[in-house]
Amino acid sequence: MPELPDVEGYRRVLASHGKGHRIERVEVADAGVLRGVTARRLARDLGGRRFGEPERRGKWLLGTTRDGGPTLLMHFGMTGNLVCDPPDAPPQPHDRVTFALDDGHLLRFRDQRKLQGIWLAASEADVERVIGDQGPDALSMGRGQLAQALSGRRGRIKGTLVDQSVVAGLGNLLSDEILWQARIHPARQTARLSKDDQRRLDTTMHRVLRDSVKAGHVPTRRSWLTGRRYDDDPHCPRCDGPLSTTRAAGRTTAFCPACQPEDGRG
């Protein structure tokens, strides 16, 4: 599932291959990924435009265009990605929309399950209406801002971290990894985290994000929870105790009962 590090990687793809290039044509192979815009309008409004500097806001990728043109918004759901192919590369089965550039390269929005998709915004106000009420971007948060975002929040910490209105960009893998490295049980009540818990969570979030953005995804290192959670018999990389799974915030959540005791005394 694409999370902040993956989308940051897609932003780099768009910056490296799209910025400054003219969109010669837009080919919509499957209009099922279009949200609030028709294939005809997408092609008409983007054709001839040049991509500007792309932005990432949480899990959203914004493909700005120059000279006051519209903004292409992409959300990758669970299975989406953005690739740049050479001119002669054949399309793949899940290529939904292709942007043909003036240098011949093909930017392709590829998505198997089509849970999210592509929007087109004419103005910054339209961008905000599409994105909604997001919290601060996790990667751009300064030290101490996480504690501010968590202040006054009810519910369990796992659900709080994946709530995009609290912190934008964290998903299931990132939140589990951060909580495991910070030794905080996913079912702990957010309001009952101590100042030390909050500081540890803040430091850990920045470290995990830094390493994940560098890798382009949450790393599957054997020293990380993410590198063990899908083993046939998963054990904690830290204490070698068996890992457990539960449902939290509607997601399958992995944790170590020994390293992440629910009473917070670990």
Tally: H helices and E strands in the chain? 7, 10
- Catalytic, 113? Answer no
Of 205, 146, 244, the closest CA to residue 3 belongs to: 205
Catalytic residue among 3, 11, 49, 188: 3
Cβ contacts of 72 within 8 Å, gap of 6 or more: 46, 62, 63, 64, 65, 118, 119, 120
- Catalytic, 55? Answer no
Cβ contacts of 263 within 8 Å, gap of 6 or more: none
- Catalytic, 19? Answer no
Catalytic residue among 2, 70, 136, 237: 2
DSSP β-bridge partners for residue 97? 28, 109
- Are 243 and 236 a contacting pair, CB within 8 Å? yes
- Catalytic, 59? Answer yes
Helix axes 4-17, 195-215, angle to 10 degrees: 40
- Are 47 and 23 a contacting pair, CB within 8 Å? yes
Catalytic residue among 49, 59, 108, 188: 59
Which of the residues are catalytic?
A: 2-3, 59, 251
